[in-house]
A and B are shown apart, each in its own frame.
Chain A
Amino acid sequence: GAVVSQHPSWVICKSGTSVKIECRSLDFQATTMFWYRQFPKQSLMLMATSNEGSKATYEQGVEKDKFLINHASLTLSTLTVTSAHPEDSSFYICSAQGGVGELFFGEGSRLTVL
């Protein structure tokens, strides 16, 4: 079946640095990918919809200058957390939409900002 790979799985960084997380669809092309954030003991929160070749659509309350999304190819979307702070520590998950609308998730990236 379709596989979505997310990298890195774990990242620890210092406050003020930027971190890039990659989301790749391995055996299918995805014109649309999604980025989510999961807070402890809560469900996923959709952050933005990433469309190949165009600007991402951000959900209300998500800072687009803070969370930069680039979807440069049909198999890769990246999320860059700029000038990370401890409150950005979270579990970030991407998903890619298949050809008939089904959704496949990456395994997530746990970000810890010191």
Chain B
Amino acid sequence: GEDVEQSLFLSVREGDSSVINCTYTDSSSTYLYWYKQEPGAGLQLLTYIFSNMDMKQDQRLTVLLNKKDKHLSLRIADTQTGDSAIYFCAGNTGNQFYFGTGTSLTVIP
């Protein structure tokens, strides 16, 4: 199966930008996703990028995809305390979805 790796922890100060990185092994994913999970809550789809795109911007979120290096990143501009959560990247090959272990983002006031 696919391996999807993320750093486990990230801390940033409120107002700074956060960059969460993800690497994957299988380049056949049609879409790559970023999900947010707040404590005690389910997954929230933040954004997704089609595999033939390099970048997608959605308000404070910017997704960068480097297919050559199999690297996906999520940049959160002007990070707020409400952004503290676990962020999962995911990809799919056919109907099989693979998730990273999640990056726990802590925003320091």
Contacts and interface: CB of A to CB of B under 8 A. Distances in A.
Given A43-B88, A43-B102, A103 B97 contact: yes
Interface stretch (A14-22, A64-72, A75-83, A104-112): A104-112
Contact of A103 (B33, B40, B100): B33
Contact of B42 (A49, A93, A97, A101): A93
A74 interface: no
Interface string B10-43: 0000000000000000000011010100001111
B102 to A, nearest CB: 6
A102 interface: yes
Label chain A's interface by main secondary structure: strand
Given A93-B43, A107-B41, A107-B42, A101 B31 contact: yes
Q: Interface residues of A toward B: which range?
A: 20 to 34
B59 interface: no
A43 B41 contact: no
Nearest to B96: A46
Given A6-B42, A104-B45, A107-B41, A97 B95 contact: yes
A103 B95 CA distance: 10
A54 interface: no
A105 B30 contact: no
A13 B40 CA distance: 19
Interface of B: 30-31, 33, 35, 40-45, 48, 88, 90, 92, 95-97, 99-102
20 contacts: A6-B42, A32-B95, A34-B97, A42-B101, A43-B88, A43-B99, A44-B43, A44-B99, A49-B95, A49-B96, A91-B42, A93-B42, A97-B95, A101-B30, A103-B31, A103-B92, A103-B97, A105-B35, A106-B42, A108-B41
Interface of A: 6, 32, 34, 42-44, 46, 49, 91, 93, 95, 97, 101-108, 110
Q: Nearest 3 CB-CB pairs, A to B?
A: A108-B42, A107-B42, A105-B43
